[in-house]
């Protein structure tokens, strides 16, 4: 009987640089190959993996895709399998990673040539449609995380596994929940970002967001909303419209291209017509004239970057920082060491190498696209695997122990090249 051997190459006890290597039927298949962005420091890469035959990419976020270009050092390399929109998002995120590294003086082990090779090696796959890599059968399932996100089911000679990447079982304005109509598997390798944190109800967060925006305008100030370029800010716009906000919305930064791509692949979101409707009411900020004008006239501005590490949000904060009538809303988790985290904790941040105090009303909301703790447990119950390996979290050992006790199934965390499990 043939066997499948699985190694969690990296990303087993942290959120960042996810990489899983599956060997079966003589093929070496990488599930994601990400990099880790560390605030103010060099990005960190997973160990090199040789002789890769194929990469199954769950979605475009850099913690899953960021090391793929390093597989193409001499022009040769594996095929990359993913949902169509993942290729376009990967283009902007990988290109931006190079740009940001250059600006900060960090080294990054690939250039635009390797990014172009990566994009040229893409092969589109479809949710629910099986394909083969050698003797291994693969089926992608919708992961509900961002447009194009996929979980991969792999089977070989009667053995099977599911790798979730990032997933979400709670539907949002943008995404349907993950598809759990999946065959039973022997092994489940799953993300566990929020194993010990629960999310607040989305509806409450949406209402708070609308109130923050309306209140700033009523006071005569502007409302700046910071978020990720892909998925997040378009969901924010949808939430504001759904909650009855009718005023103009301005969109700035990388999120503009993110929205163009999302619209071009609108069938990857829950409600394509609603996406198009909301998009028609969003004004893209192109050029400094408009940027300066809206910064000084009661406006609602949705912009990157999500953790205030760079991007046009710095310009808007600089213009509005002394105005207590204006508001700045952060829409997600702020990693330790980012300017967003500092601003929340100390009320100040660094802009153009200068430390400034921000008098705007700063609020943090939670529009997470990750499975909640309840979702993680629901996935395990629904899939009902023989073995669970949690990864992509900072408490994987503890979570594995809890899964064993709760469900009486084998669960453990493994990590690093060489440590493997065979099914
Ligand atoms: Zn992600
Ligand atoms: Zn991730």
Distances in Å between the Cα of 254 and the Cα atoms of 248, 257, 313 are 19, 6, 11
3-state secondary structure of 72: helix
Task: Please report how the helices 202-218 and 232-242 are oriented relative to each other, as an axis angle in degrees rounded to 10.
Answer: 80
Per residue in 357-376, pLDDT tens?
999 999 999 999 999 999 99
Is residue 326 within 8 Å of 360, Cβ to Cβ? yes
CA 15 – ligand 1 centroid, Å = 10
CA 166 – ligand 2 centroid, Å = 5
CA 94 – ligand 2 centroid, Å = 15
The pLDDT of residue 417: 65
Tell me the CATH number for domain 4-197+369-422.
3.60.15.10
Per residue in 68-115, pLDDT tens?
999 997 778 999 999 999 999 999 999 999 999 999 999 999 999 999
Distances in Å between the Cα of 229 and the Cα atoms of 82, 208, 257, 317 are 20, 21, 8, 18
pTM of the model: 0.97
Ligand nearest to the CA of 392: 2
CA 134 – ligand 1 centroid, Å = 28
Is residue 36 within 8 Å of 14, Cβ to Cβ? yes
Ion ligand 1 residue ranges (Cβ < 5 Å): 61, 166
Q: What are phi and psi of 122, to 5 degrees?
A: -70, 140
Kindly state the average pLDDT of the residues 47-73.
Answer: 96
Per residue in 155-201, pLDDT tens?
999 999 999 999 999 999 999 999 999 999 999 999 999 999 889 99
The pLDDT of residue 363: 98
Every domain range in the chain assigned CATH 3.40.50.10890: 202-364
Every domain range in the chain assigned CATH 3.60.15.10: 4-197+369-422
Tell me the CATH number for domain 202-364.
3.40.50.10890
Calculate the average pLDDT of the chain: 96
The pLDDT of residue 74: 78
Per residue in 124-135, pLDDT tens?
999 999 999 999
Per residue in 309-343, pLDDT tens?
999 999 999 999 999 999 999 999 999 999 999 99
The pLDDT of residue 168: 98
CA 288 – ligand 1 centroid, Å = 31
pLDDT at 1 over 90: no
């Amino acid at each position: 009987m043939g066997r499948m051997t699985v190694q969690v190459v990296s990303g087993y006890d942290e959120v960042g640089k996810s990489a899983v290597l599956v060997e079966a039927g003589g093929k070496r298949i990488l599930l994601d190959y990400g990099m880790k962005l560390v605030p103010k420091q060099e990005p960190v890469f997973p160990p090199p993996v040789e002789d890769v035959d194929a990469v199954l990419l769950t979605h475009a976020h850099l913690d899953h895709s960021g090391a793929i270009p390093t597989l193409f050092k001499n022009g040769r390399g594996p095929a990359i399998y993913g949902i169509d929109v993942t290729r376009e998002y990967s283009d902007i995120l990988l290109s931006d990673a190079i740009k940001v590294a250059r600006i900060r003086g960090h080294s990054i082990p690939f250039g635009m040539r390797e990014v172009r090779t990566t994009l040229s090696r893409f092969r589109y796959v479809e949710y629910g449609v099986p394909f083969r890599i050698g003797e291994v059968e693969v089926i992608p399932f919708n992961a509900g995380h961002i447009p194009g996100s996929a979980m991969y089911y792999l089977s070989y000679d009667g053995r099977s596994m599911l790798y979730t990447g990032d997933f979400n079982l709670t539907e949002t304005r943008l995404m349907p929940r993950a598809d759990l109509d999946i065959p039973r598997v022997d092994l489940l390798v799953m993300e566990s970002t929020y194993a010990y944190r629960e999310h607040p109800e989305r509806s409450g967060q949406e209402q708070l967001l609308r109130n923050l925006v309306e209140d700033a305008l009523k006071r005569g100030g502007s409302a700046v909303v910071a978020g990720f370029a892909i998925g997040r800010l378009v969901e924010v716009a949808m939430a504001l419209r759904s909650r009855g906000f009718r005023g103009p919305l301005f969109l700035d930064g990388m999120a503009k291209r993110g929205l163009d791509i999302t619209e071009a692949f609108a069938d990857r979101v829950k409600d394509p017509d609603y996406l198009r409707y909301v998009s028609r009411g969003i004004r893209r900020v192109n050029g400094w004239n408009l940027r300066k004008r809206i910064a000084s006239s009661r406006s609602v501005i949705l912009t990157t970057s999500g953790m205030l590490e760079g991007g046009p949000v710095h310009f808007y904060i600089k213009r509005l920082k002394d105005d207590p009538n204006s508001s700045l809303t952060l829409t997600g988790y702020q990693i330790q060491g980012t300017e967003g985290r500092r601003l929340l904790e100390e009320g100040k941040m660094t802009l153009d190498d200068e430390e400034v105090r921000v008098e705007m009303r700063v609020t943090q909301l939670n529009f997470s696209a990750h499975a909640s703790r309840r979702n993680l447990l629901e996935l395990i119950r629904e899939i009902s695997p023989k073995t669970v390996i949690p990864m992509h979290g900072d408490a994987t050992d503890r979570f594995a122990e809890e899964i064993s006790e709760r469900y009486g199934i084998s669960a453990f965390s493994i990590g690093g090249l060489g440590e493997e499990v065979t099914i």
